[in-house]
Amino acid sequence: MYSEQDLRYAARFREEIHREALAIVRKTRPNAAEVIDRHPVEDYFQKNWEYPGKWYTIVAIPYGYKSRQALVDTIVRDTLAGKAPEKERSNVEKPRETAREKGMSDGKPEGYTERTDPFYKLIAEYPDLVVDYCIVKAKGDHGYGSHRKALKTAFFDLCGDWKGDPDRAVGKSADAGEMLSSEYQPGKLNYRKAFLYPPHENSYTGKDFVRVNAALFPNGTDGLEVYEWSTDWSEYFDEGREWWGTLCLTVYDKTMDRFAVIMASATD
């Protein structure tokens, strides 16, 4: 059972999620008044086991979502596909401007994600992936510092519910051939393995891997600049460190002047 105060906290958190989703929905349906969320407020709790033997409950995204952004994306898709009211009611609070929309004036990184890119429609066809993607618009520059800015932007977009400090991440240059390679180094998780062989088996094949990357890098790999990053700077990666592995890549595509950030972490 939850106390009235717990339910108020969960309702407030749920409303934040709804405002974020509604802001995205209104880019397509400007007069949308509300969103469709299949989860009641009671779903916005998770039980956690505290050693040596105590359960405690926290307000969090419902079970079944890898990240806050995955939940928002689902609500957006359900709303656009459903029959949510189109006529804006006067008593509906308009979504507040986010820190990202203000240019990260609260200290988060500048830049913005390209959520309207066709790639996201394709990747939605792969719900069992444990790999997370974020496309970040560049500003005509690249190099180590710009890769870190892209990583920070993607982290706050994908991992809003996880603690982390991207400024602690350490990157090293890699090449596109190494990134897409099927050769596995002992004790290391590479991108292809993260895509095809998660802890819980999926049905995806090498053809799917090729298809996704053809959409992610439509102009080929010759113009890509790749950095591989350490993963000891966020709790997002904690599960993967148990045994399966962790992955964090930033890829600048000079032909499109954008970054693709690729992250993965999972456990059984």
For 54-97, the DSSP string reads EEEEEE-PPTT-SSHHHHHHHHHHHHHHTT---SPPTTSPPPPP
Output b/e per residue, 130-167; b: 16+ Cβ within 10 A: bbbbbbbebeeebeeebbbbbbbbbbbbbbbbeebebe
Record the tokens describing residue 75, joined without a space: 């609500």
Is residue 257 helix, strand or coil? coil
Q: What is the dihedral of CA 171, 266, 15, 114, to 10 degrees?
A: 40
Please say whether the beta carbons of 239 and 265 come within 8 A. yes
Residue 261: Cβ within 10 Å count: 24
Tracing tokens 């982290």 back to the chain, one arrives at: 155
* pLDDT on residue 105: 36
Q: Which domains are assigned to the chain?
A: 4-81 (no CATH), 118-265 (3.40.1000.50)
Record the tokens describing residue 29, joined without a space: 């349906």
Going from the C-alpha of 102 to that of each of 94, 96, 109, 117, 261, the distances in angstroms are 16, 11, 11, 21, 22
Q: Cβ-count burial of 246 within 10 angstroms (0-12 exposed, 13-18 middle, 19+ buried)?
A: buried
pLDDT in tens, the chain (268 residues): 566 667 777 888 888 888 888 889 888 888 888 889 888 888 888 776 555 556 567 778 888 888 889 999 999 998 888 755 554 333 333 343 333 333 333 444 445 566 678 898 898 899 889 999 999 988 766 789 999 999 998 998 887 667 888 999 999 999 998 898 888 777 778 999 999 999 888 899 999 999 999 999 999 999 999 999 999 999 999 989 888 999 999 999 999 999 999 999 988 7
Record the tokens describing residue 142, joined without a space: 């690249």
End-to-end CA distance of the chain: 28
Q: What is the dihedral of CA 167, 261, 136, 211, to 10 degrees?
A: 180
CA nearest to 156, candidates 125, 120, 111, 198: 111
